[in-house]
């Protein structure tokens, strides 16, 4: 994919805070915000500001039909449903306005004051309403790490893993925006042989660092989306923490897969980064052996060079970075995930969320979950305060961060996903 002109590293904005920010003019991620008692509406992050797209629409600065209806909406779904031509047109309009190529916003002081809002003074909401949520298992290193923990004397990968993107259908009603407290879930756990399963709060609450993608127009029921047409249907990416209750999951998941151990909360960043913003950070996909079946074959670069950081902060304590990793080594790409999801004719709709599964590396300190970092609890992590963790305790805060950049190019931030653990209900 050739990088579009609006990702030119020399492009600058007249918004002072944009330069050196994770939200420079080359990024322009979309979100939903509200100010004071006003209704939520759609905006774009630029530096430490949010550009109110509804205000631009009312000023007739956006060259798409019925723009006000799109951006006064309380989610991105109507915009996502318009498709690639609308996405590209609006992005070009915004880039021109914020760079000064189109001077109308910069020269209208009353409009710019009304449309450029201080981000810290706003409330950020879930940016899209996912009708469906699918979680994959796309990291070879993660799958291998877990396989060695659970099957130490066998092949760490199950026979199907290298032939298809393994996934499961999650619960979209508990997809929440960053900052939402995570209530410790309750459920059954594995009993002693011949015993009754104990019921209560999970004792193995975990994180999963993931990269998600959000869909646009979708397809009609019964019509697959070819892998090489995925860019027509994938609007952008979000940072995801797919929280997991490992002890609940271990008891329930056979034979049908995860249920209560996963469905209690999935946190996403408030910003959706368009695929166009990541064009300069797309890299060749890792080799796949054996070669995938024809419907899973792609052309072009579908891996993303995005660095991730996982931070754990106990209540009243200092934050500790517990993992650093990168998305470029994911085995199954988002294009392949979408093609596999729809090859049976499954219908995709605007705002559906698809997550990569835990992103891990093969080296210590690059794992994207506590179950890997602590070797299933056998090797506790020591935090900067001296406290130790195998799994999360009440009051712990987890912060995920993602940034693409380097090589002389501006950083493209995915924002943060923050969640603090609240006690289980009594």
Catalytic residue positions, numbered: 142
C-alpha 98/C-alpha 25 separation (Å) is: 7
* Cα angle for residues 358, 364, 366 (degrees, 5° grid): 35
25: tokens are 């003019």
CB 275 within 8 A of CB 300: no
Q: Which residues are registered as beta bridge partners of 206?
A: 244
Rounded to a whole number of angstroms, the CA Rg of the chain reads: 22
3-state SS, residue 196: coil
C-alpha 28/C-alpha 242 separation (Å) is: 25
Q: Which residue has the tokens 């318009």?
A: 82
The DSSP H or E segment spanning 79 is helix 77-82
Question: What is the DSSP code (8-state) at residue 236?
Answer: E
70: tokens are 């799109």
Phi, psi (rounded to 5 degrees) for 273? -85, 120
């Amino acid at each position: 994919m050739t990088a579009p002109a609006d990702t030119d590293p020399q492009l600058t904005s007249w918004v002072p805070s944009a330069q050196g920010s994770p939200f420079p003019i080359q990024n322009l991620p979309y979100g939903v915000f509200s100010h004071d008692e006003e209704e939520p509406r759609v905006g774009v992050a630029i530096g430490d500001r949010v550009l109110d797209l509804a205000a631009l629409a009312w000023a007739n600065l956006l060259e798409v039909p019925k723009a006000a209806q799109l951006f006064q909406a309380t989610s991105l779904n109507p915009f996502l449903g318009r498709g690639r031509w609308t996405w590209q047109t609006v992005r070009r309009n915004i880039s021109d306005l914020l760079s000064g190529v189109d001077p109308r916003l910069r020269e209208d002081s009353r409009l710019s004051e009304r449309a450029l809002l201080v981000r810290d003074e706003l409330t950020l909401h879930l940016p899209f309403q996912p009708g469906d949520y699918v979680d994959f298992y796309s990291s070879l290193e993660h799958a291998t790490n877990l396989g060695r923990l659970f099957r130490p004397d066998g092949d760490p990968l199950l026979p199907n893993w290298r032939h298809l993107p393994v996934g499961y259908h999650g619960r979209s009603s508990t997809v929440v925006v960053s900052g939402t407290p995570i209530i410790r879930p309750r459920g059954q756990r594995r009993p002693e042989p011949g015993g009754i399963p104990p019921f209560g709060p999970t004792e193995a609450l975990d994180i999963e660092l993931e990269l998600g993608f959000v869909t646009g127009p979708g397809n009609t029921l019964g019509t697959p989306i070819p892998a090489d047409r995925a860019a027509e249907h994938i609007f952008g990416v979000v940072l995801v923490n797919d929280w997991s209750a490992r002890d609940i999951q271990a008891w329930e998941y056979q034979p049908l897969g995860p249920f209560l151990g996963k469905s209690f909360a999935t946190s996403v960043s408030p910003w959706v980064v368009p695929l166009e913003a990541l064009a300069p950070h797309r890299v060749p996909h890792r080799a796949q052996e054996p070669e995938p079946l024809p419907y899973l074959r792609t052309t072009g670069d579908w891996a993303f060079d995005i660095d991730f950081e996982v931070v754990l902060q106990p209540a009243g304590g200092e934050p500790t970075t517990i993992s650093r990793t990168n998305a470029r080594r994911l085995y199954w790409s988002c294009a392949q995930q979408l093609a596999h999801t729809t090859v049976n004719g499954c219908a995709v709709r605007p705002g559906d969320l698809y997550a990569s599964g835990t992103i891990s590396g093969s080296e210590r300190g690059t794992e994207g979950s506590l179950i890997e970092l602590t070797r299933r609890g056998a090797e506790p992590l020591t935090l900067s305060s001296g406290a130790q963790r195998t799994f999360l305790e009440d009051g712990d805060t987890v912060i995920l961060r993602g940034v693409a950049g380097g090589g002389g190019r501006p950083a493209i931030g995915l924002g943060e996903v923050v969640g603090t653990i609240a006690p289980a209900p009594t």
